Amino acid sequence: MRNIALIGFGEVGKSFIKLLQIKKDLLPKNTKLKYIIKRDGGIYNKDGLDIDEIIKYTSSNNKIQNHPLWSDISFKDILKNKDVDILIELTSTNIINGEPGYTHIKGALENKINVVTGNKGPILLYYNELKNLALKNNVELKIGCTTGGALPSINVGTKDVLGAQVTEIIGVLNGTTNFILEEMLKNKVEYKDALKKAQDLNIAEKDPSLDVLGIDTGIKMAILSKVIWDVDFEFDKLDIKGITDVKLNDLLLDNFSGKKTKLIGRAFYLNGNFEFEVKPISIDKYHPLYFVDGKNKGVHYKTDILGDITVTGGASSPLNAAAAILRDLLNITK
Ligand SMILES: NC(=O)C1=CN([C@@H]2O[C@H](COP(=O)(O)OP(=O)(O)OC[C@H]3O[C@@H](n4cnc5c(N)ncnc54)[C@H](OP(=O)(O)O)[C@@H]3O)[C@@H](O)[C@H]2O)C=CC1
Ligand SMILES: N[C@@H](CC=O)C(=O)O
């Protein structure tokens, strides 16, 4: 039997419970979702929440705060009640101090609760500490959703290249900016209009500056670098540039010469030499990520003995991000 708590009931959290409903047969019998917690309280049932009822309730425009089970419970109650073994952490990303995710993830691991998260802040800032805590407590910390959501970037860059040395990572890892650059060209609009559309589709972060300033790409590239190379760096000092200065005219000129501008992250690591940059680059059709269009993403690994490996797809959307959470959850429960 597996008992789950969900903290963070925004776009991805809501999509996640829809997937729990649709994919319930993939989970072990008697899997129970016991908590859904937001900033100001949550709902709890020690015998397991009725997911069908909650989906029906929230999709009829009812605020979950008006649900009969709503109370002022918080993360502390999860630890106090000691009745779950998996925490799904989907609160907002904060890269200043990682909170509130850091407290939730650390508290869960210390209490021998497995964690699946899409929250990039605590992983960027405290990955080694949290990974060691998970190891010490014999539980899992699953972070596949933090480095491109549905794009299977971490597993390919670690498990699937075992024995090889990854020397370079090249990524188009932000669906919002990739979508914006394509929209600008397709509809001949400047980036602000295209950004509005990305926000309407809920793929941009709540604070879209994380996307358009290149920070989200930088975070994902930095997490991949940490996980794959265990390299130490200060995120603030990394060379990160976004797409806010890209003009429609630049894209039209690119297009004329058969090129596309993409927000590319590149990290290189060999013999202690670490290079890192994120910036818009004009690429031609021979570049491995040239065909990554729309909300899709892609990652290209250069390795010493496995050759070059490219994975593309995994379009950004709350449902796809939730699918990445489900993927990690199933890897724990299998
Ligand atoms: N959207 C996407 O496509 C992707 C998102 N992610 C990451 O997944 C996470 C969730 O994203 P998304 O659902 O879009 O974000 P939202 O902003 O839609 O939701 C965030 C949720 O976190 C809750 N929350 C914030 N602070 C607390 C707190 N102290 N205690 C309890 N709950 C809290 C909010 O509660 P309240 O509503 O009460 O404010 C809200 O329900 C983020 O970290 C994001 O970076 C990762 C990959 C893709
Ligand atoms: N805003 C991100 C989604 C979450 O990682 C993106 O556009 O890819």
Question: In 3D, which of 96, 81, 78, 82 has the Cα closest to residue 36?
Answer: 78
Yes or no: say if 204 and 211 are a contact pair by the CB < 8 Å rule: yes
pLDDT in tens, 3-46: 999 999 999 999 999 999 999 999 999 899 999 999 999 999 99
52 CA from centroid of ligand 1 (Å): 22
CA–centroid distance, 223 to ligand 1, in Å, is 19
Tokens representing 71 are: 């109370």
Q: How far apart are CA 237 and CA 221, in angstroms?
A: 14
The DSSP secondary-structure symbol of 34 reads E
- CATH fold of 3-150+319-333 reads Rossmann fold (3.40.50)
pLDDT in tens, 249-282: 999 999 999 999 999 999 999 999 999 999 999 9
Task: Report the nearest atom of ligand 2 relative to the CA of 297.
Answer: 8
Output the CA 292–ligand 2 centroid distance in Å: 15
| Ligand 1 atom closest to Cα of residue 40 | 38
Nearest-CA residue for ligand 1 atom 18 is 10
**Is 220 an annotated catalytic residue?**
yes
ipTM surpasses cut 0.95: yes
Model confidence over 90-136: pLDDT tens digits?
999 999 999 999 999 999 999 999 999 999 999 999 999 999 999 99
Active-site position among 32, 34, 220, 226: 220
Task: Render the burial of 238-255: b for 16+ CB within 10 Å, e for the rest.
Answer: bebebbeebebebbeebe
Examine domains 3-150+319-333 and 154-314 and report if their fold is the same.
Answer: no
9 lines ligand 1 (CB under 6 A): yes
CB 93 near ligand 1, within 6 Å:
yes
| Domain layout of the chain by residue ranges | 3-150+319-333, 154-314
71 pLDDT more than 90: yes
- Return the ligand number nearest the Cα of 319: 1
Specify the ligand 2 atom closest to the Cα of 174.
Answer: 8
Report the pocket of ligand 2 as residue ranges, CB < 6 Å.
149, 174-176, 203-205, 211, 216, 316
pTM confidence score: 0.97
Closest ligand 2 atom to 177 CA:
7
CATH of domain 154-314: 3.30.360.10
